[in-house]
Structure 1
Amino acid sequence: MKVVFNSFGGRYNDNPRAVYEALVARGAEMDAVWLARPELRGDFPAGVSTVETWGPDARAAVESADVIVSNDGISREWDKDPATTYLQTWHGTPLKRLHRDAVWAPEGRLELVMRDVARWDVLLSPNAASTPHLRSAFGFTGPVHETGYPRNDVLNAPDRDARRARVRAELGIADGVTAVLYAPTWRDDLVLSDDGPKHTFPVDLGDLARGLGADSVLLVRLHAMVSDRLVVQGPAPLVDVSRYPDISELYLAADVLVTDYSSTMFDFAVTGKPIVHFTYDLEHYRDDLRGFYFDLAEIAPGPLLTTSEQVLAAIAGLRERPWEPTERYERFQDTFCSLEDGAATERVLQLLFPPDGRPAARGALPANDEPRR
């Protein structure tokens, strides 16, 4: 069985990584190959077979695969074999409107996306609330399976405390230091513009880090769309973790998440740790740029704040008393995290890689997203 894995156009992380490592642990007989960006091949473990994204070997790999596991579109030119099963895991619970549903998109982008969607055989959904929006965004009429996200299994794994300690040690975070993970999403009008900056920060990150205090560290994680386009700079206590291979481990290492409209909020909530929203451009992002599937003011698990002073005050307030999830936070978890129970990867393996080692036939993959009773 030949299986090709792709994550964010050539990285070793996310849902495909979780599926791959579970198959390896199972001892599955497979010829596995990863699409890899040349400059990121050092992030792949020794012994993992890779081909360069997007060279001729990559096209040959996807065109000869029995199964393709990807968390993003493979939008380059290639012809899919009718016998190939293409599993699209996607990479987040959508707050912001996607593709066909987005308020704005540059000319030609939607056509590239839809060309790849036509190749998909199966789509994963992290929760029932997301399923209709994923169908709408992609115009996908095939099977959608609500499994939860394999990448989040580590957040409930028996070794999560040991992972937390290891990652914090790797990042030089001492015991007793509060790790604040700042993970903003990207802005379409910047990234997809013909000129100008590809990303801007609303505040000086060094000032924000210093404002947290000596017993804290600011971990800055840029979105994959912009992480290779600029360098995060600033004095300690600031650490650029944009190149850290897998954000799930950063969720374990962190004590607080600061984000805006990113899907990181849905994953981080699995940990039960506090979330603060830095929504300085809320109206522009919601009304002009993307649009939302959910009313953020209604569902947000944490406060919506517009200035760095408010963010610093909210984080300081968390030190004054032990954190306990609010009723609002718990409703958020009930809606979006109910399938994040540590068994999502196994559900995907049962779906696509049954114990006999052969991928399930395409016609044997009915959707499980019919209305719940």
Structure 2
Amino acid sequence: MSTRRFQFASSNLSKLLAIPKYVLSWLLAFFVPRVPGTWAFGSGIGVGEGALALARELRDSRPDAHIVWLVADETEGALAEAESFTPVVRRSRHGFWATLRAETLVVTHGLGDVNRFGVFGGTVVQLWHGAPLKRIHLDSAVTTAVRGPAPLRGVLQRMYARGTKQVSLYVAGSVTAAERLRSAFRVAPGKVAVLGDPRDDELAAQAADPTVAAAARERVLDMLAPQLQGGLAAGPLVLYAPTWRDGEPDPAIPTDAEVAEIVAALARVDARLVIRSHPLGEGEYGAAVGDRIHLLGGDLARDITPLLGAFDAVITDFSSIAVDFSLLERPIQWFAPDLEAYTATRGLYEALEVTAGSTIARSWGEVTASLSELVTAGTPARREASRAAAAIAARFHPHRDGNSARRVLAAIERLRLPASELVEPGGVFFESFYGRQVSCNPLALDREIAARYPELPRYWSVTSERQDVPAGATALLVGGVDWFAARRMARLLIVNDWLRFGFKRGPDQIVLQTWHGTMLKHLALGRPNVSLRTKLAIKRESRRWSMLLSQNGHSTDQFRNSYAFDGEILETGYPRDDRLAVADLAGEMNPVASATARQTLGIPDGRSVIVYAPTWRDRGTTVVDALDVNALADALGEDWIVVARGHTRTHELGSYLRLNPRVIDATAHPDINDVILAADLLVTDYSSVMFDAAVAGTPLAFYVPDLAEYRDAERGFTFDFEASAPGPLLQQRDELLPLAAQVREHGRAAPWIADYRPAYAAWQARFTPHDDGAASARVVDRLAERGAFGAALERDA
């Protein structure tokens, strides 16, 4: 078998040396048109992987398509011709020209699967080659390694980032895989579509039909026939498929003594072990070949995935073959002798124990000890291993119908459709916090609009398939073609932050900027030391808005100055606070509203609730936890639950560690109103949640040990916060404990709350004068007056 030692460092160096070729190719791409209906396919393993499944579907369903396969040598060329594809040598002038002229390019390992210099301007589809278990691309320092000074490494990083932007569509088998691809390639969520993995289509057929799996077994036995002594094997077949070690030797190569032990274990159940080393790996398994141990290298089977139905069990370490094989719901024995070292160097997306859901063997002795049980029908070990495999399949294979190639082909064709064919024109586009949440003012307005105009198309911007959108609305992933189409074709856009991605408001479009809170801290042009570039960006952004929503007069003045906005401002109160307003009954919390919120958050009966909801920091690199919620929970004792709510801009920095069972991290909870309504006491620092909580009359305290720094150096305040705060300003965590004790005993009648009642009333009069529970209705009324609902308004009038 091959012992060539590919390493990322040397490959990356060659990329840097080729920069002049990239530049010239990029310039040439401006003048060379791509030919409609032409496709260029390539794969790191040759003619195989998901690219082959997709090319076959294209060939069979679109006979007018011209399919070129970029090959490395004559052997691959013959395989391409056998499939009725046109073979072209990848690293040749013909390969460059074929890639440069093809309308659509399909790859599985990277842009180098075709001619990497000809990809500029083409529609590139990246299928990848399995669900990522180990960290890939920009998520692993190994993959972008290069020897040299920091500037050289910086150039390489930019080249990688630019390369990811060449790809129009990344295909994922599952939401879990999609999230990892988005992270690894640093692309917008909508660039990655969960369509199923075409390379698993044949395997899905084997899982559904035992006769198809039996045919795969016969193919494997035919390949192994020269190695089989005494004819075809009737007993179980076990596949051992270790992953590649990034150019390092495989630590699991068995010793002579281990080989003897493996053979003995196989003989006990009349089984055979088939070794499939990674094509890029160095695996000297040749010495192990003999009685009951066989090699199935790339020379015999270029693509192993369509043959997995032949095997009764799989042994692997970090290979995505385990995820493919789980479709069959047959036993997987995880075997990772270098688990700690591999995790520390290459890295995994989650602990291998989490993925496996079963025991991880660390030596061949442990593997052979369980082997006979795994391949014998009806044993407890085999049943348990099959259940663990089924759990993996449930996570990684939502599509098991064998039609993934068909879905991918349809998705590629959608990339070229005009916006008017992707979405219904004249609808409403909603976005909250750049799509990270379905919440805030846009959500409140969605409810009002849906009630009045139920037939109006409604589109919600989201960053994950896991997000729920309101009934009747359509979720669109940020940055996808449908997402761009909805923004372009919507009559009304309702957003609470910047629009991004070069949005230009059309002449018939209305953009309502609701923003996301009354400002204590300065924003936009009001921030200190704003650069000229930022000032221009701020003014360009505010010109995209037709109308701006304001909670109060203070916000109205700030918006005029901070965004240089001279359009219409609706000072109506906040729609997102309508629910809070109706829950406040003459200064007391509606017990039904509070109980419902607590039940939603999972708060046990009889506990008091303290909420900690800090804002983010401009140069923050971690979750803001100055209060230390776990230490606070310890100090408060059994009677209290601490609910932590991080800012949306800290979501990517992690979450609150729940070291204490009385801590609830509600950062990802979709509705902050639940958090406010559940609170007996809400603690913040400089977050605008202080204004929303005042609508519900929630007692407030402010933990501000960095007050002077934040006020004088970071952002600055838009009013005298210290003089008007409707609650105490605290510097030490211990100062909070007696306040909480009074709340536990007296509720809103606590003495310290009474002391702040005049300040609280003044705060409400200044900042929440319009929040009476009807803000959503007032806003929709005004939008209707401006014709924001178009034909829907005329129809329902």
**Counterpart residue type for residue 144 of structure 1:** I
- The correspondence of residues 122-201 of structure 1 with structure 2, limited to 5 A, is 122-157=547-582, 161-190=591-620, 197-201=621-625
> How far apart in 1 are the matches of 2:725 and 2:638?
29
What TM-score comes out, normalization by structure 1 length?
0.88
Verify: 1:229 aligned to 2:648, yes or no: no
Q: Does residue 499 of structure 2 align to residue 69 of structure 1?
A: no
Equivalent in 479, 495, 503 of residue 78 of structure 1: 503
Q: Deviations over 1:301-331 (max 9, x none)?
A: 1000111111223222333434245111111
Partner of 2:764: 333
Whether the aligned pair in 1 keeps the contact of 2:441 and 2:496 (CA below 8 Å) is yes
Relative to structure 1, the CA distance from residue 13 to residue 299 in structure 2 (aligned partners, 3 Å threshold; closer, same or farther) is: same
Q: 1:358: Cα distance to partner?
A: 3.5
Cα deviation 1:58-103 (Å, max 9, x = unaligned) = 2221111111111111122222211101000111011000010012
Q: 1:371 — aligned with what? A: none
Check 1:158–1:133 CA distance in 2 against 1; reply closer, same or farther (3 A cut). Answer: closer
| Alignment partner, residue 13 of structure 1 | 439
The one of 281, 305, 310 aligned to 2:735: 310
* Higher mean displacement: 253-262 or 166-175: 166-175
Amino acid at match of 1:294: F
Residue in structure 2 matched with residue 35 of structure 1 by the alignment: 461
Distance in 2 between residues matched to 1:140 and 1:215, nearest whole Å:
49
Which residue of structure 2 aligns with residue 51 of structure 1? 476
Alignment equivalent of 1:22, drawn from 422, 432, 448: 448
Cα shift readout 1:103-148 (whole Å, capped 9, x = no counterpart): 2568855544432211101001101122111111111011111100
Q: Report the Cα distance in structure 2 between the residues aligned to 1:356 and 1:144, rounded to whole angstroms.
A: 17
Q: Deviations over 1:143-176 (max 9, x none)?
A: 1111000000001337964343222113222333
Q: Are 2:676 and 2:698, in contact at CA under 8 Å, matched by a contact in 1?
A: no
2:773 equivalent to 1:346: no
Counterpart residue identity of residue 235, structure 1: N
Summarize the Cα distance change of 1:93–1:347 in structure 2 as closer, same or farther, 3 Å threshold.
same
Structure 1 distance, partners of 2:596, 2:662, is 19
Residues 28-67 of structure 1, C-alpha deviation per residue, up to 9 Å, x if partnerless?
Answer: 441111111125x433245420211122322221111111
Greater CA drift, 167-176 or 265-274: 167-176
Structure 2: give runs of 5+ residues left out of the alignment. Answer: 1-425, 585-589, 792-797
Instruction: Specify the alignment match of 2:626 in structure 1.
Output: 202
Corresponding residue number in structure 1 for 2:716: 291
Q: 1:232 to 1:322 in 2, by over 3 A?
A: closer
Q: In structure 2, what residue type is equivalent to 1:342? A: G
Are positions 1:101 and 2:531 aligned together?
Answer: no
Task: Give the Cα–Cα distance (whole angstroms) in 1 for the partners of residues 493 and 517 of structure 2.
Answer: 19
- What is the CA-CA distance between 1:241 and the residue it aligns to? 0.1
C-alpha deviations, 1:285-304, integer Å up to 9, x for none? 11111010011111111000
User: 1:356 & 1:142 partners in 2: Cα distance?
Assistant: 17
Q: Distance in 1 between matches of 2:488 and 2:533?
A: 24
Q: Distance in 2 between matches of 1:356 and 1:133?
A: 28
Matched with 2:641 is: 217
Corresponding residue to 1:268 among 661, 680, 693: 693
What's the offset of the Cα at 1:250?
1.5
In the alignment, structure 1 segments of 5+ residues that lack a partner are: 191-196, 361-373
Q: Is the 8 A contact 1:104 1:288 kept in 2?
A: no
Task: Indicate if the aligned counterparts of 2:457 and 2:473 stay in contact, CA closer than 8 A.
Answer: no
Instruction: Using CA pairs under 8 Å that are at least 6 residues apart, name the structure with larger relative contact order, 1 or 2.
Output: 1
Give the Cα–Cα distance (whole angstroms) in 2 for the partners of residues 165 and 346 of structure 1: 26
Contact 1:259–1:277 under 8 Å retained in 2: yes
Letter in 1 for 2:625: F
* Structure 1 outlier segments of 4+, above 6 Å: none
Residue 368 (structure 1) aligns with: none
Q: CA RMSD in A?
A: 2.2
Pick which of 244-253 and 53-62 moved more.
Answer: 53-62
For residues 42 and 164 of structure 1, the distance between their equivalents in structure 2, rounded to whole angstroms, comes to 24
Q: Is the 8 A contact 1:5 1:70 kept in 2?
A: yes
Counterpart residue identity of residue 15, structure 1: N
**1:89 to 2:520 alignment:** no
Counterpart Cα distance in 2 of 1:263 and 1:203? 18
Match of 2:638, as an amino acid?
Answer: A
Give the match's secondary structure for 2:633.
helix
SS of residue paired to 1:189: coil
**In structure 2, how many angstroms separate the alpha carbons of the residues matched to 1:303 and 1:214?**
24
Distance 2:497 2:702 in 1: 26
CA apart distance, 1:22: 1.1
Q: Which one has the bigger helix percentage? A: 2
Number of residue pairs the alignment of both structures matches:
353
The one-letter code of the counterpart of 2:515 is: W
Of all paired residues, the percent bearing the same amino acid is: 37
Q: Give the Cα separation in 2 of the matches to 1:312 and 1:81.
A: 55
Counterpart AA for 1:17: L
Q: Is the 8 A contact 1:104 1:290 kept in 2?
A: no
Moved more, 167-176 or 231-240: 167-176
Q: Which moved more, 1:139-148 or 1:56-65?
A: 56-65
